[in-house]
């Protein structure tokens, strides 16, 4: 049996959280997803539980994805961090140029995005 890959998934939309969690866990049996609907709650979770990877929306009400990323970097340097967002890479590229991210997958229709995200998560965790 493969080693478990623990993922902290952050998005204010509970429907997106559940759908993404379901597809990621279905795509890769080793992936185990914990969800949070706010960046501050996710930061608290990071303080109390170990995770192999963080996947976050970019546009969130209580803290932007960039602010969340910066906080994650301060607390757990080197932790693979992905944006899974409706914004395309170019829209956020200038804000993330100075901060390491493992990747960016744009939300959209079709299940291939979840498959791509699962593969990217596995690859980033194996590299770290």
The string of pLDDT tens digits covering residues 17-53 is 999 999 999 999 999 999 999 999 999 999 999 999 9
| pLDDT score at 45 | 96
Residue 48's DSSP bridge partners are none
Token pair belonging to 79: 């932790």
Per DSSP, helices labelled H in the chain are 14-27, 39-48, 65-75, 89-96, 112-127
Give the CATH number of domain 5-127; options: 1.10.357.10, 3.40.50.2300, 3.30.830.10, 3.30.750.24. Answer: 3.40.50.2300
Question: Using the 8-state DSSP alphabet, how is residue 34 labeled?
Answer: E
Judge whether residue 104 has pLDDT over 80: no
Query: In terms of pLDDT, which residue wins out, 49 or 104?
Result: 49
d(Cα 95, Cα 8) in Å, to the nearest integer?
A: 22
Cα 127–Cα 4–Cα 48 angle in degrees, nearest 5: 90
Judge whether residue 118 has pLDDT over 90: yes
| pLDDT score at 86 | 67
Short-list 82, 88, 10, CA closest to 42: 10
Cα 9–Cα 6–Cα 39 angle in degrees, nearest 5: 30
What percentage of residues in the chain have a pLDDT greater than 90? Answer: 62
Judge whether residue 94 has pLDDT over 60: no
pTM for the complete prediction? 0.89
User: How does residue 99 score in pLDDT terms, banded at 50, 70 and 90?
Assistant: low
d(Cα 15, Cα 91) in Å, to the nearest integer?
A: 24
Residue 8's DSSP bridge partners are 34, 54
């Amino acid at each position: 049996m493969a080693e478990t890959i623990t993922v902290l998934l952050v998005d204010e939309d509970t429907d997106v959280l559940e759908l993404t969690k379901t597809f990621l866990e279905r795509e890769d049996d080793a992936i185990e997803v914990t969800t949070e609907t706010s960046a501050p709650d996710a930061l608290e979770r990071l303080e109390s539980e170990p995770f192999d990877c963080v996947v976050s929306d970019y546009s969130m009400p209580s803290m932007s994805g960039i602010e969340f990323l910066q906080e994650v970097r301060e607390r757990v340097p080197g932790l693979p961090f992905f944006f899974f967002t409706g914004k395309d890479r170019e829209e956020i590229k200038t804000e993330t140029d100075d901060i390491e991210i493992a990747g960016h997958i744009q939300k959209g229709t079709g299940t291939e995005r979840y498959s791509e995200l699962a593969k990217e998560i596995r690859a980033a965790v194996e590299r770290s």
